[in-house]
Amino acid sequence: MARRALISVSDKTGVEDFARELTARDWEVVSTGGTLAALRAAGVPATAVSDVTGFPEILDGRVKTLHPHIHGGILARREEGHLAQLAAHGIGPIDLVCVNLYPFREAVARGAAFQEAVENIDIGGPAMIRAAAKNHAGVLVLVDPADYGLALQDEVSQEDRRRLAAKAYRHTSEYDAAITAYLEGMGETAEALPGHLTLDLSRVAQVRYGENPHQPGAVYRLGSERGPVLDARVVAGKPMSFNNYADADAAWALAQELASQEDHPAGTRAVCVAVKHANPCGVAVAETGQTAWERARDADTLSVFGGVVAVSRPVDLAAAQAMRGTFLEVLIAPEVTPEAVEWFAAKKPDLRVLVAAPDANPGTLDVRPLAGGFAVQRRDARPWDDLCPEVVTTREPTEGEWLDLRFAWAVVKHARSNAVVLARDGVTVGLGAGAVSRIWAAERAVANAGERARGAVLASEAFFPFDDVVRLAAGAGVSAVLQPGGAKRDPEVIAAANELGVSMVFTGSRHFRH
């Protein structure tokens, strides 16, 4: 008796050639719907499932493979008792199941309406995949076109059959997780998170190791989301490391936030962000990408060494050559000209040069691991325009100080707490981040700035419990301060600012980042 293969796929990559090769090897191909039409159009002989079941597809195709003549043929063990039962009922064995599922995640990703999303929930497909995977000792199960070649071998080992079965169950479990997340998310609000949260993760990159060489590491996609770094093109340099991904993601996020400030100079100028260990270490805006890079580099030439750089504008040859004297790990930009790529490959072969994915949809959840679980929150995506900045001192900021305050606010929002940022003329001149004391963060920022603190502004991502930061800043020459406000001693802090002639603005919004 000829072996039988059931083929019903949404992703039709390579399926016609695969089915043609099966028929050349005397397999009978059984198929359904669109796959059947595609195979016949390609000249591949294929039997309709309805001819096997003796029952037509009904309910607009919702029911076509849920039938004993299909599932009996898949689930029967290749032993005398089960085979005898198949023969008694006129059921032929099915030896290969090649199925992948309706494009549910793709439909949701492109914004399909609820009813269309529901119609893309596959029922028969998962049932056939799971049945074949359960009976993998006698039935090959294929969910990935990359495995078609393996199925054409004369003999497939039990080890490979188990591997394909595991892959099949992963395929259906990820599919179910995506459906669960979608349906649970339908009732979400900006304030609430669902009672059950399923993380649908699929590996997209294997890295040499994690943060340290003794830690295995990999990078995963959450559902069907796309990330600007996760899906970036590496156009030059070495493969990305675990830490490269984390730092590039942090740098790009800040660069894009600054670039989105349309009424700020960053909205019409290039932005450059240098990051070291997930913290900004030099940020600047300028007329060109080259000048923005030079200003960001000069903000802290020591810390930028070995850093990760994001530029909001295309990087041309001049900008590339301006990076000649600085060792960097990663550069990410929306575009890198061919001349610049060629120069990087020749002069900086170890530098990873990335072109950010333009159609990213990184989602709204911020998920952090805990021992035994996760802490989950909405991303801190509050824009400046959502704030109501209030000048609480006698002296108001000048127009230039307002621009620098907004610039510094964006930077401090992306720095690790406790964080204080000093900025002047669209460039960071002092940063203190990740400190366990706010005064220590301020002292670090002021020391980092030195003489550049004179005429600079200061931003803090959290309120001041005392007036010590204001007095430190004023003593260094800082002219304006931005902070959330809301501390018990706010009146004392405001009084100190008025005494010292410093402008102070309350935003009413904290931006802790741990």
Active site members: 134, 277
Listed as own residue / partner, the contacts of 446-454 with beta carbons closer than 8 Å and 24 or more positions apart are: 446/422, 446/472, 446/473, 446/476, 446/478, 448/300, 448/422, 449/422, 449/476, 452/422, 452/424, 453/422, 453/429, 453/477, 453/478
Q: Which two tokens stand for residue 117?
A: 């999303």
> Which of 417, 402, 422 is closest to 473 using CA atoms?
422
CA dist 327 and 308 (Å) reads 10
**CB distance 289 to 313 below 8 Å:** yes
CA angle 211-299-460, nearest 5°?
Answer: 75
Supply the DSSP symbol for 421.
E
> Which of 101, 100, 102, 127 is closest to 116 using CA atoms?
102
CA dist 142 and 167 (Å) reads 8
Tokens 């032993």 appear where?
A: 79
Phi/psi of residue 428, each to 5°? -75, 135
The three-state DSSP-derived secondary structure of 308-327 is EEEECCCECHHHHHCCCCCC
199 C-beta neighbours (distance < 10 Å), count: 13
- Between the CA of residue 413 and those of 211, 435, 510, what are the distances in Å? 24, 15, 9
Q: What b/e string do you get for 152-165 counting C-beta neighbours within 10 Å, with b at 16 or more?
A: eeeebeeebbeebb
CA dist 281 and 262 (Å) reads 23
CA dist 355 and 334 (Å) reads 5
**CB distance 430 to 446 below 8 Å:** yes
> Which of 301, 299, 264, 279 is closest to 461 using CA atoms?
279
Q: Is 366 helix (H, G, I), strand (E, B) or coil?
A: strand
E runs forming strands in 347-456: 352-355, 365-370, 373-378, 390-391, 420-424, 427-432
E runs forming strands in 3-95: 4-8, 28-31, 47-48
Exposed, middle or buried, 395 (CB in 10 Å: 0-12/13-18/19+)?
middle
- Between the CA of residue 198 and those of 22, 180, 366, 374, what are the distances in Å? 38, 7, 14, 11
